[in-house]
Chain A
Amino acid sequence: MIWLIEQLPLLTILASLLTAVIIFMLRDRRRRARTFWNLFGAVTKLVLVVFMLYAVISGVELEVVWLVLPDLSFRLAADPLALLFVMLSASLWLVTTIYAIGYLEGSGQRARFFGFFSLCVAATTGIALANNLFTFFIFYEALTLATYPLVVHRGHPAALQAGRIYLTYTLGGGALLLVGAVMLHTAVGDQPFTPGGVEAVALWAADSPLMATLVIGLMLAGVGVKAALVPLHSWLPIAMVAPAPVSALLHAVAVVKAGAFGVIRIVQDIYGAEIAFELGITPVLAVLAAITIIYGSLRALAQTDIKRRLAFSTVSQVSYITLGVAAGGPLALIGGVAHLVHQGLMKITLFFCAGNYSETLGISRIDQLNGVGWRMPWTSVAFTVGALGMVGLPPLAGFISKWYLGLGALQQGSYWVLAVLVLSTLLNAAYFLPVIRRIWLLPAAPIGLKRHDSGKLESHAWLLYPALITAFAALFAGAFAASQWSPLSWAERIVEQEYPLDER
């Protein structure tokens, strides 16, 4: 039994991997079997993650290690940061699966879609649980391969074009990360992630600072592609051509988060915040993140398409995580890490709602949203919660992250970060509040929606409930942030490991 518990990280990955294999083998017609396996896989995984959480809290060290090459190991471990991300992806996967079943059943190529959908989550789980850079890279690239078929799922020329751009960026980023990882490996050997930084890396960085800077630069550029840091962000809005559940997954759980998570791992758990600062990396990163935050918001403001506005909003919001890492100090890091979860909850809600509007009423542009709140009240409530959270209205989740980011900036004396936060909040308000006003306050347009109008008032339950669940989660994560089980408290627990107590 003990042996099996130690294998939990591996089993969690296998839960989605085996689901993928089973689904690939089912024929397209077998809808009920597929639905069953999809949900079975998602629930099993969530249960395994909860077990893992329980085991770690009761003090069991979960680690899976084997040699892949004579001097290199495959390592999985459930540390607090890994658990945060894996909990987020496991729970949001369950919700997204429900949503995707509602959204896609009836269209073609479902076996392929759901197979790769599961593979995608298996790769994300691997990214979360990886405990050295080599293992992280394996899953990081596997994620690229698994998302491609989802991006091009619709198969029309625009989808194929988006897939090509997505690949160009992500494969290029992967190559940079690979070169960096190999160089790091030749310099310091196989090193597991260590909160606060690896000692051997610190010695090496003191010895040859130029090389160390080059390597961290290559690696951050590599993960920066998926984290959509300006100027590596262009693939993200184009990838919007994918079906709504994929966008939700891409934006909230899998791809961009893999990038942001990579930034945390590289800066905090390989180099350590102090070394990264001394090498001059985190100041540059902070500026890039700040530029991305403002740029993404400005571009979002200019969009007329709902999904594209949300996409640029993602570009902006994901960089809060990077900013939290780069701004320095424990408080900002708490804000960044908590935002990993908070942004996920809010953004997935918004994408679910955007999908519901387009599925039920055929709405894809913002100017078509007039008065839709009275037509689809529940979807619109969820949308409003998500949008207000993004703006940072207390007590929603987004407020908490921004609060900690701001406190962190004050602690470090970087007042310009504070200015960026304020400006970004104003911009967020500028592109979300008018949408909310349209939804609830403007009179509905009586014409122009006939073709899609099915006469139903609300979306199908499979589409509606996921949005409501994540909206409530975003509400609770903010309102009960002080409770022991909130993402914020968990982020504090992670940061306690990164910074020894006396420095706080």
Chain B
Amino acid sequence: MSLLPSLPLAFFLPLLTALLVFLVGMRRAPWLPLLGALATVLVVADIAISVALDGPQRHHLGGWEPPLGVELYADGLAALMVLLTALVGLAVTLYAGPYLRGKGHSGEHFWPLWLIQWATLNGIFLSADLFNLYVMLELLTLTATPLAAMAADRSALGAALRYLLLALLGSLAYLLGVALLYGSTGSLHLHEVGELLQADAAAAVAAALITAGLFAKAAIFPLHIWLMPAHSNAPAPASAALSALVAKAAVYLLLRLWLWVFPVLLTAPMGWLIGGLGATAVLYGALQALRQNRLKPLIAYSTIAQLGYLLLLLPLVVVPAAATYAWHGVAYQALVHGLAKAAAFLAAGNVIYCLGNDRLEGLRGLTPYLSISLLALGLAFAALMGMPPTGGFLAKWLILTGALGSGQWVWAIVLILGSLLAGAYAFRVLSVAHASPPYGWIEIYPPRPVPLVMQLTPLMLALLAVVMGISAVPVLNLLDQGAPEVLP
């Protein structure tokens, strides 16, 4: 057992930092966010270590037992997700300072919002209470919307408004579903509801409402329309957090609810339905990414595609021969995607910082000025494509093993097509970066030097995504602490 109450601290530390930043002000204490971030990283590391050593961890807020109190619960999956959040969060915190200063954005809005968002993310990953999860989901929307609107131009505001509308509708649907579940089981505790739930009409409607609500929040096809404008118009550090963490938190919740609360409803046709939407998202997102002429929209569409992979868990997990592989592969994919996507957005931020825009054509001849960022972008793309030696490759291998080993060819084909399309859009970007500059280029656009810390943070994230390709065994061991019961 750990000495610290790490589970609540993972939520309250970033929240407290946000409050302090708000009260004290960034001008007087510019080191505050970093301090809070480092403390959170330590606490989260403590959670991961305790889960690895002693199995799933519980904490009852205020000492109140469920059903009255709220339970915080960390199994392997939750521990890994807060760990991912901490790594990406630390990078975003390091990166945002110089980026915002350089772009003339006000940190006053950014820092409290971002830190509350971090707290909320940890809240979602660590809560085992359906109503508490609803509160966290709402809070997440309320922090994500202003971050998406921070550029404050017409397109950013429109995108943020669209996002707000869909996300609120999503929360509403989720809340209705939770109410139905409470009505039929009399409990809000995630595991208890899962044990009590019968496969009846009320449960089916609740599952449908919750699934639809979370689809909207996770931008799963066909409710994906808000994601691209919202994620690509936000300032780069916010985009990184939105794509790598916020949208993924909704998918995380979706999968957790299906595996822990609704396993009685998870039949093969239901799995195929959700998996089919995921597969559509994979192909649609990748094809759209291929058509973009700007870097950030391209990376945002890639997120739509990559989140689709995660839904393939549901059709595969119902087949015993594929279940464990799918569970391992999808979780690994979620982690690697988080690191790689954050790296890609931060690297794109460097392009914007240097050039003033993110048109692909602008990458011509930029290599000498941005070699570190372009290397990070290249490595991140390799991870997103599932190319060895990155962690994305191991995730792809695992899911493929599950799909092919159980004779489910369709998902294997989706996976292969998705990664080939990812290769196509990735190399569209990288080939422009390798192209020789147009004549007289330097005179037209004097590039602006990018601070070193902004160059190194995406590289570090991308390298982590690569290092995850060396061995997945430690991560998978941690993941198997408290794995869902549907696994054989």
Contact = CB atoms under 8 A, between A and B. Distances in A.
Interface of A: 24, 28, 66-70, 72, 74, 109, 111-112, 134, 137-139, 141-142, 144-145, 148-149, 152-157, 160, 163-164, 167, 171-172, 175, 178-179, 182-183, 185-186
Interface string B431-469: 100111000000000000000000000000000000001
Contacts of A66: 471
Nearest to A152: B434
A155 B436 contact: yes
A148 B400 CA distance: 26
A299 to B, nearest CB: 27
A152 B404 CA distance: 35
B397 interface: yes
Interface stretch (B121-129, B337-345, B386-394): B386-394
A182 B388 contact: no
A186 B322 CA distance: 11
Given A67-B473, A148-B430, A171-B420, 8 more contacts: A28-B368, A68-B471, A70-B476, A137-B388, A138-B469, A155-B435, A178-B400, A182-B404
A429 B472 CA distance: 53
B261 interface: no
Contact of A182 (B387, B401, B419): B401
B377 to A, nearest CB: 13
B9 interface: no
A155 B473 contact: no
A160 B434 contact: yes
Contact of B431 (A70, A139, A142, A164): A164
Contacts of B371: 24, 111-112
Contact of B473 (A70, A111, A160): A70
A179 B431 contact: no
Given A145-B382, A175-B416, A182 B427 contact: no
Chain B's interface size range is 35 or more
B273 interface: no
A141 B387 contact: yes
B473 A148 contact: no
A111 B367 CA distance: 11
A111 B405 CA distance: 44
B473 A138 contact: no
B61 interface: no
Contacts of B420: 171-172, 175
B471 A67 contact: yes
A145 B390 CA distance: 12
A69 B395 CA distance: 10
Contacts of B419: 175
B431 A182 contact: no
Contacts of B382: 145
A114 B434 CA distance: 15
A142 B400 CA distance: 19
Interface in B86-107: none
B470 interface: yes
Contacts of B471: 66-69, 74
B388 A112 contact: no
Most B CB within 10 A of own CB, among A145, A172, A183: A145
Looking at B388, B404, B419, B472, the one whose CB has the most chain A CB atoms below 10 A away is B388
A160 B435 contact: yes
Nearest to A24: B375
Contacts of A139: 388
Contacts of A152: 431, 434-435
Contacts of A67: 471, 473
Interface string B318-352: 00000000001000000000000000000000000
Contacts of A154: 436
Given A175-B419, A179-B412, A182-B401, A68 B472 contact: yes
Contacts of B401: 182, 185-186
Given A68-B472, A149-B434, A160-B434, A138 B389 contact: yes
Contacts of B396: 178
B307 interface: no
A167 B393 CA distance: 18
B84 interface: no
Given A138-B388, A141-B388, A154-B436, A68 B400 contact: no
A148 B427 contact: yes
Interface string B395-427: 011101100110000001000100110010001
Given A68-B472, A141-B387, A183 B404 contact: yes
A151 B412 CA distance: 31
A185 B404 CA distance: 10
A220 B389 CA distance: 22
